[in-house]
Chains A and B, each alone.
Chain A
Amino acid sequence: MTAILSLPARRGAKGLRVLPIVEIATLVVAIAAPFVLSDRIDLVTLATNVLILSMLAISFDLCWGLSGIMSFGQALFFGVGGYVIALVGRDLGFSHIWGTLPLALLTGFLLSALLGAFLLLGRKTPTVIFVALGTLTGSYAAERLVSGWQYVGAGNGLSSIKLLQAGSYEFVEGTAFYFLALATLLVVYVAARILMRSQLGLVLAGMRQNEERLAFVGYRVQLFKALVFSVAGAIAGVAGALYSYHQGFIGPGNMGPGLSTTAVLYCLFGGSGTLIGPILGTIAVEVITYALADIDAIKSIWPVVLGLVLLGVVMFQPKGILGFFVSDRERIGSYGERPQRGA
């Protein structure tokens, strides 16, 4: 403790930084998990799912936590990513990782750019409610559309999806897929972290606090939002592709309001605005759901319980689990040290 205190005082009295410790601890656990769980394939599968869904949670966090876009439609891009790679596998017989993951990324990006342009770039500044309803409607409409469309399997969705390939290697459920998902999540995480801590992240932080103020100093606020929304859509697209390869299945439910809302829950539960929060939230919700899934009495009322948890979080702990041990100042973050004069 004295060693810490005797370090040269960092600017401000920020105290110990908690987030990097949480991040490193999470990474260590994530790397160790498949080895610890190696004889329980069902748990490795669960863990892989958690990693993939974490990307969806981060995708939502970029919208809401970073840019103040209340998107109730992130599953739309997730689902479309999943469907696209399933169709490319079925109709073109192609499932190479270097082709399909970028394709899902691009599809998610373009689709969200389109929806974002429509919802955000109008002449009038859109309200949070307008954007929430717009994204929700998009997600709902997509789910309905797909449920009635024979070409994409209608209500049954698409199953027996062609396995993901890297060279001649085929990814099936298990440790290899787990590490693929972990690597992808890590790339997404690092990229999002760079974005968040850059001066662009500072602009977004300013927008969150007072959008009008930023417009009056000369920022095209809605354009920044549309950009982040598109990046978030790209991430959801990749996550959806991995999901459908991993499950061997993609269905209408994977792009509807149900999953979209679950992403909101992951993020708010863990702590929006930090990047590690959504991951912790996903782990917590998915692990608890899994543990309780065998108990029939709880299973049927579980969605209700989750709904109540979400309500409770919004009302009593809007900063999520992380809010308990990370200070506000650290949560909001800094955007680089101030260069010292003469130094």
Chain B
Amino acid sequence: MALLEVRNVGKSFGTLRALDGIDIAVQAGTFHGLIGPNGSGKSTLLKAIAGAHFPNSGSITFDGRDITTATPYERARAGLSLKFQITAVLPELSAYDNVLLALQSDQSLWSLLSSRTRRRLNGEVMTALERFRLADRADDLAGELSHGQQQWLEIAMALAPRPKLLLLDEPTGGMSPEERRVTGELLQPIRSHCALVIVEHDLDFIKDICDHLTVLDQGKVLDDGTVAEIERSTRVQEVYTSRV
């Protein structure tokens, strides 16, 4: 059974059908790319999976559990993690504290109040920061980091609680080509324990790292398959050559 199953999900904003009967299955351990023109519903789909809003119809199953109407908190606990399209680090806290916060969400009130978590989780925080090349910026405020570093910090936060599935909405938006390349490298090692659903406009980037692609257009699945299959798809080529 797939790790994540989205069945016939629909979401409307007023009269606009942002998602119109979406079906997607994400297998454990795979990197699953979500592509499509602007406004095709990619972010809306990720938000429905993460719980930022509930679909009007259809169902979402994660790790054998129906999470269609679970709260974001419940989904996070179940092993889902999300990085928003708009970077959402906590700008007035240090990079270190940002990661620590992401790590200690399952701690009891008492251990938070007695601050024991700080010492206990130090190793994990530093490992996460090192992995995303932020160790030397640990004490700097997140808001003072460069745009690319903020994206990395947010990925580090999203990965900190060891999710089973990570949802990334345009992680390389606004990055330099070099930063993109590094981002791809940084994501590779998570493959062993975490599946990925990633939205990207940079097709080269996404072809490089993904095993499987789903193409959305106007709220519907236009095509779905391995990277090679999608590359050959005439339907996809039509949409991409006519509109992008």
- Does B6 lie at the interface of the complex (its beta carbon under 8 Å from any beta carbon of A)? no
**Which partner residue on chain B sits nearest A332 by CB separation?**
B92
On whether the beta carbons of A206 and B90 are closer than 8 Å, the reply is: yes
A199, A212, A219, A227 interface centre (most CB from chain B within 10 Å)? A199
Give Cα A335 to B118, complex, Å: 9
Interface size bucket, B side? Answer: 35 or more
The reply to whether B138 and A338 form a contact with Cβ atoms under 8 Å apart is yes
In the bound complex, how far is the Cα of B138 from the Cα of A334, in angstroms? 13
Decide: B93 and A220 in contact? CB cutoff 8 A: no
Query: Which segment of B21-29, B72-80, B207-215 sits at the interface?
Result: B72-80
- For chain A, the count of residues having a C-beta within 8 Å of the partner chain is 34
- In the bound complex, residues from chain B placing their C-beta under 8 Å from that of A334 are 94
Q: Is B113 an interface residue (CB 8 A)?
A: yes
For B76, what are the chain A residues with a Cβ–Cβ distance below 8 Å?
Answer: 215-218
Once the chains are docked, how many angstroms separate the CA of A216 from the CA of B90? 13
**B145 at interface by CB-CB < 8 Å:** no
Q: Which residue of A lies closest to B120 (CB)?
A: A339
Q: Which of B56-64, B100-108, B191-199, B219-227 contacts A (4 or more CB under 8 A)?
A: B100-108
What is the chain A residue whose CB lies nearest that of B102? A217
A334→B139 CA distance, assembly (Å):
10
Which residues in A have their C-beta under 8 angstroms from that of B100? 199, 202
Q: CB within 8 A of B72: which of A198, A200, A215, A328? A: A215
A213 within 8 A of B: yes
Interface positions, chain A 191-209, Cβ under 8 Å from B, are: 194-195, 197-200, 202-203, 205-206, 209
Residue of B nearest to A213 (CB): B88
Closest to B91 in A: A209
Interface: A168 (CB within 8 A) = no
Interface centre among A214, A328, A329, A338, by most chain B C-beta atoms within 10 angstroms, is A338
A334 to B78, CA, bound (A): 31
Asked whether, in the complex, the Cβ of A339 is within 8 Å of the Cβ of B118, the reply is: yes
Chain B hits for A212, CB < 8 A: 52, 72, 88
By a CB distance below 8 angstroms, the chain A residues around B118 are 199, 335-336, 339
- Min C-beta distance of A235 to chain B, whole Å: 16
- Is the beta-carbon distance between A217 and B141 smaller than 8 angstroms? no
What is the bound-complex CA distance between A203 and B117, given in angstroms? 12
Nearest A residue to B88, CB-CB: A213
- List the 3 shortest-distance A-B pairs measured between CB atoms, nearest first: A218-B76, A218-B105, A200-B112
Q: Residues of B at under 8 Å CB distance from A?
A: 50-52, 71-73, 76-77, 81-82, 84, 88-94, 96-98, 100-102, 104-107, 109, 111-115, 117-119, 122, 126, 138-141, 157-158, 160-161
Q: Apart from A12-B140, A216-B52, list 12 A-B contacts with CB within 8 A.
A: A199-B107, A202-B101, A213-B88, A216-B76, A216-B81, A218-B161, A219-B105, A334-B94, A336-B118, A338-B122, A338-B139, A339-B118
Q: List 12 A-B contacts (CB under 8 A).
A: A199-B115, A205-B92, A217-B101, A217-B102, A217-B157, A218-B105, A218-B161, A219-B105, A221-B73, A329-B141, A334-B94, A338-B138
